[in-house]
Chains A and B, each alone.
Chain A
Amino acid sequence: DAGVTQSPTHLIKTRGQQVTLRCSPKSGHDTVSWYQQALGQGPQFIFQYYEEEERQRGNFPDRFSGHQFPNYSSELNVNALLLGDSALYLCASSLRQEQYFGPGTRLTVT
C-alpha cells in the first residue's frame, strides 16, 4: 500500500514566479492537509481539503491556494513567490484524526 506521495521532490523558483505542488493521499484517505515547514521549525498549517472543498485555513495569505480532485489528490499553488516562501512543503492525508505525511517538496526561491 503506497503511502502519501508528493511531487516534485525539489524545486527552485525565482521571486515573483508561481509554483504548483502535487500530493496523492494514502489509499482510503479522503482528507488532505498542507503544511509549510521552515528550517528548524515545526510544520505550520496552510489549509485542509475535504470533499473537494477548503474546509479549514491557517494564517497564510491568498497567494496560497489549493484544489482537491475527485480522486482525493490535491494541489498547492503559490503565486508571486517571495524569498520567505522557501521551505519544505508537506502534504498529509487522513481519514479520521491521525494524519500521515508525505516526504515533502523542498522549495527554494532565489
Chain B
Amino acid sequence: QKEVEQDPGPLSVPEGAIVSLNCTYSNSAFQYFMWYRQYSRKGPELLMYTYSSGNKEDGRFTAQVDKSSKYISLFIRDSQPSDSATYLCAMSAMTGGGNKLTFGTGTQLKVEL
C-alpha cells in the first residue's frame, strides 16, 4: 500500500464549478501538507501549504486537513479553464534529519468552457 493515495482522474468539470480534490495517507507522522499544480511538462508550483489540521484559504483555493481521518482536500471555487492541470498532494514529517516530500500520483483536472 502506498503511503499517499490520490485518485488519478481524469476529472472533467464545467467552467465555474467547485472542484474537490482529495488524498488519503497512512503515515501518522506527516505534519506538513502541500498542494502543487503541475502543467504539462513543467515543474510543480506550490499552491497551498498547511501545518497540522485545519483549513487555509487563499483566493479561490481552500485546503483542509483532517489528521484524525488521515484525509486532506483542496477545493477550487469558480474554476477556470486555466486551472486545467495535474494537482499533486504532498506531505512531510517533522524530523531533524530532513523533510522529504511524499507525493500522491496526481489528479488530472480539465475545466471545460
A43 contacts B98, CB within 8 Å? no
Q: Which of A13-21, A48-56, A62-70, A72-80 contacts B (4 or more CB under 8 A)?
A: A48-56
Q: Which residues of A have CB within 8 Å of B98? A: 48, 50, 55-56
CA distance A18 to B1 in the complex (A): 33
- Whether B43 is near chain A, meaning CB under 8 Å from some CB there, is yes
- B104 interface neighbour in A6, A40, A42, A103, Cβ under 8 Å: A42
CA distance A85 to B6 in the complex (A): 24
CA distance A48 to B34 in the complex (A): 18
B100 contacts A101, CB within 8 Å? no
Output the nearest chain B residue to A6 by Cβ-Cβ distance.
Answer: B43
CA distance A40 to B103 in the complex (A): 12
A97 contacts B42, CB within 8 Å? no
A43 contacts B97, CB within 8 Å? no
Interface residues on B, range: 20 to 34
CA distance A72 to B49 in the complex (A): 24
Q: Closest CB-CB distance, B90 to chain A, in whole Å?
A: 8
- In chain B, residues 59-95, which have Cβ atoms closer than 8 Å to a Cβ of chain A? 88, 90, 92
Interface residues on A, range: 20 to 34
B97 contacts A56, CB within 8 Å? yes
In the complex, per-residue mask of A29-65: 1 if CB is within 8 Å of any chain B CB, else 0: 0010101000011111100101000011010000000
Q: Closest CB-CB distance, B6 to chain A, in whole Å?
A: 8
- Whether A98 is near chain B, meaning CB under 8 Å from some CB there, is yes
CA distance A44 to B102 in the complex (A): 7
A97 contacts B51, CB within 8 Å? yes
Output the nearest chain A residue to B34 by Cβ-Cβ distance.
Answer: A98
- Whether A71 is near chain B, meaning CB under 8 Å from some CB there, is no
Q: When A55-B98, A94-B99, A98-B34 are in contact, do A103 and B43 touch as well, CB less than 8 Å? A: yes
Which A residues have a C-beta under 8 Å from some C-beta of B? Answer: 4, 6, 31, 33, 35, 40-45, 48, 50, 55-56, 58, 88, 90, 92, 94, 97-104, 106
- 14 A–B contact pairs at CB < 8 A? A4-B43, A31-B99, A40-B105, A41-B105, A42-B106, A48-B99, A56-B98, A88-B41, A90-B43, A90-B44, A97-B49, A98-B46, A101-B43, A101-B45
